[in-house]
């Protein structure tokens, strides 16, 4: 991987661990197994975040490609490789939300997520004519470009399953499932290992009173001071 000299120390531990394992594949079973290994070796993440916290240039570089997410968490891109991305998702009162609407959605990629701290409630949805009316949207986003949603008709969804995923849990999704994720504690942090894009778009379902989200929006860069605080908060919770 081609990391600049200013930011390379941030990723050495994580990339050293991830790259050889991901050469064997980026299917869901593989990335889930790797996420479980990361959970079982918390010193790797602790070391990488400690280096990041002590390196102003690296903090700035990571903040530049990270952002507050419309679903209420801070999306921190720790590292990227060939067909994979390692992201830290943090729900915290210290980071403002740019959305606040927990829209049911899928993903363009499979992922595995380690719940580092707190409890995250996942609710999955299925289409059912007895359910709530939603506008079905095609979501598309490329790095550096505005994200956009294009309406594609209406449907009705009902909540199917609800699971509270607590610290230490690792779970995986193909990306085709429709779900929401709701924090159940003040601080929730997850480490997400995502695979390659399986589609160019995914589905997002908007309630009728949320249709203003159909406007294009630029990603808002995460403030360096916010990132510094989030990294410190997560470090304090790592074993």
Given a cut of 80, whether residue 175 has pLDDT beyond it is yes
**What digits encode the pLDDT tens for the residues 96-114?**
655 556 789 999 999 999 9
Contact 92, 230 (CB under 8 A): yes
Cα–Cα dist 79/186, whole Å: 26
- For 185, the 3-state DSSP assignment is coil
Q: Is residue 71 part of a domain?
A: yes
pLDDT in the model for residue 147: 64
Contact 58, 5 (CB under 8 A): no
- The domain of 209 spans 8-237
Q: Is residue 97 part of a domain?
A: yes
| Both structure tokens of 82 | 């060939």
Average pLDDT over residues 165-175: 97
Q: Is residue 3 part of a domain?
A: no
What is the residue whose two structure tokens read 């980026």?
Answer: 26
Q: Is residue 2 part of a domain?
A: no
Q: Is residue 65 part of a domain?
A: yes
- Give the domain CATH number at 78: 2.60.120.10
Q: Is residue 26 part of a domain?
A: yes
Q: Is residue 109 part of a domain?
A: yes
**How many domains does the chain divide into?**
1
**What digits encode the pLDDT tens for the residues 187-231?**
999 999 999 998 888 999 988 876 655 554 556 889 999 999 999
This prediction's pTM:
0.89
Closest by CA to 66, choosing from 216, 192, 188, is 192
pLDDT in the model for residue 149: 76
Beta bridge mates, 141: none
Cα–Cα dist 171/88, whole Å: 15
């Amino acid at each position: 991987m081609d990391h600049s000299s200013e930011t390379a120390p941030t990723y050495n531990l994580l990339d050293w661990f991830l790259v050889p394992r991901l050469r064997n594949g980026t299917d869901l079973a593989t990335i889930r197994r790797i996420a479980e290994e990361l959970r079982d070796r918390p010193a790797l993440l602790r070391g990488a975040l400690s280096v990041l916290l002590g390196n102003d240039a690296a903090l700035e570089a990571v903040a530049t490609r990270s952002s507050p997410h419309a679903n209420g968490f801070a999306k921190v891109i720790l590292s990227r490789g060939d067909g994979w991305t390692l992201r830290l998702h943090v729900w915290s009162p210290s980071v403002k939300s740019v959305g606040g609407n927990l829209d049911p959605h899928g993903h363009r990629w499979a992922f595995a997520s380690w719940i580092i701290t707190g409890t995250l409630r996942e609710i999955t949805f299925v289409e059912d004519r007895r359910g709530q009316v939603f506008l079905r949207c095609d979501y598309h986003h490329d790095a550096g470009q505005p994200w956009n949603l294009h309406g594609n008709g209406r449907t009705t969804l009902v909540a199917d399953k609800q699971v509270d995923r607590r610290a230490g849990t690792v779970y995986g999704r193909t990306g085709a499932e429709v779900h929401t994720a709701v924090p159940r504690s003040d601080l929730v942090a997850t480490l997400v290992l995502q695979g390659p894009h399986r589609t160019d778009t995914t589905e997002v379902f908007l309630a009728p009173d949320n249709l203003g989200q159909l406007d294009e929006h630029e990603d808002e860069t995460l403030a360096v001071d916010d990132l510094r605080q989030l990294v410190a908060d997560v470090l304090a919770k790592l074993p």
